[in-house]
């Protein structure tokens, strides 16, 4: 009688953050075969048969990046299961997308000989190669983040608990890779009900007028959305 094949399940994390004006992703250097020495997304196998998938994602987030999943935006990105994607056999990977505010250099984790942030552009351009199908996963993760900035309050997840509107604008500019008008952005972002609310303080800059501080509001879905400007010289 036929029985269904058993497979191994890994959880991989696309952890995005903003460092000095560009979008970066956390990578580890693999300490074990296969792809030993290559750069890869942090992640690992399900711990045991009783562990949920999202649960495993939170655990890996803590083990490999020392981040607290409860504090962060964490969502399922997709599942990658082409036969042959992993030389160890039939392994499918459930990828999660995590967004973090700017952080210091990460800690080397259990499976990782080394870990560090790398600019998205290094990976998408092909200058930096990744193990397995992790290039595809990173590509999907960045595209997901770009889209979600328009319709959700995801951008605040890149910021600290309080932030200036200019800082929020930098998030949009870095993730989208465009320049925005500060004055129109200021008005627009304040008009969306529940997106951001005043935190009361001010931030002293090196020079110039101090900026008011804001915090994330209660709204997760933006009405109206913040539309990404057309890069595709359409119409003509």
Partner DNA sequence: CGAATAGTGTCTATAAGACATTATACT
Partner DNA sequence: AGTATAATGTCTTATAGACACTATTCG
**Contact code string over 20-59 relative to its own copies, x by CB under 8 A:** -------------------------xxxxxxxxx------
50 interface partner picked from DNA, its own copies, none, CB below 5 to 8 A per type: its own copies
81 interface partner picked from DNA, its own copies, none, CB below 5 to 8 A per type: its own copies
Residues 6+ apart with CB under 8 A from 50: none
Residue tagged 């962060």 (tokens): 72
Whole-Å CA distances, 34 to 61, 131, 224:
21, 9, 47
Residue closest to 74 by CA, chosen among 90, 51, 93, 58: 58
218: tokens are 């209660």
For its own copies, the closer CB: 47 or 198? 47
193 sits near DNA (criterion: CB under 7 A): no
For its own copies, the closer CB: 105 or 230? 230
For DNA, the closer CB: 30 or 170? 170
For its own copies, the closer CB: 113 or 221? 221
101 interface partner picked from DNA, its own copies, none, CB below 5 to 8 A per type: none
171: tokens are 């998030």
For DNA, the closer CB: 9 or 192? 192
Give the containing element (helix H, strand E) for 88.
none
Give the containing element (helix H, strand E) for 190.
helix 182-191
Whole-Å CA distances, 78 to 10, 53, 136, 161, 162:
12, 12, 11, 28, 31
7 sits near its own copies (criterion: CB under 8 A): yes
151 sits near DNA (criterion: CB under 7 A): no
Residue of the chain from 1, 49, 70, 227 that contacts DNA (CB under 7 A) = 227
């Amino acid at each position: 009688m036929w029985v269904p094949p058993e497979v191994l399940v890994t959880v991989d994390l696309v952890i995005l953050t903003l460092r000095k004006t560009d979008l970066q992703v956390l990578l580890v250097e693999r300490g074990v075969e296969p792809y030993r020495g290559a750069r890869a997304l942090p992640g690992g196998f399900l711990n045991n048969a009783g562990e949920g998938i999202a649960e495993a994602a939170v655990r890996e987030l803590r083990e490999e990046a020392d981040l607290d999943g409860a504090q962060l935006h964490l969502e399922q990105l997709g599942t990658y299961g082409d036969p042959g994607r992993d030389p160890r056999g039939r392994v499918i990977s459930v990828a999660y997308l995590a967004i973090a505010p700017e952080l210091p250099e990460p800690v080397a984790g259990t499976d990782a000989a080394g870990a560090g942030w790398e600019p998205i552009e290094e990976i998408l351009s092909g200058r930096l190669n990744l193990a397995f199908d992790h290039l595809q996963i990173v590509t999907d993760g960045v595209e997901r983040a770009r889209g979600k900035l328009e319709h959700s309050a995801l951008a605040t997840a890149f910021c600290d608990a309080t932030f200036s509107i200019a800082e929020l604008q930098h998030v949009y500019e870095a993730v989208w890779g465009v320049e925005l008008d500060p004055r129109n952005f200021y008005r627009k972002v304040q008009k969306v009900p529940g997106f951001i609310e005043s935190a009361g303080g001010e931030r002293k800059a090196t020079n110039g007028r101090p900026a008011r501080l804001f915090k994330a509001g209660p709204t997760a879905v933006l009405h109206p959305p913040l539309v990404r400007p057309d890069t595709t010289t359409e119409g003509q």
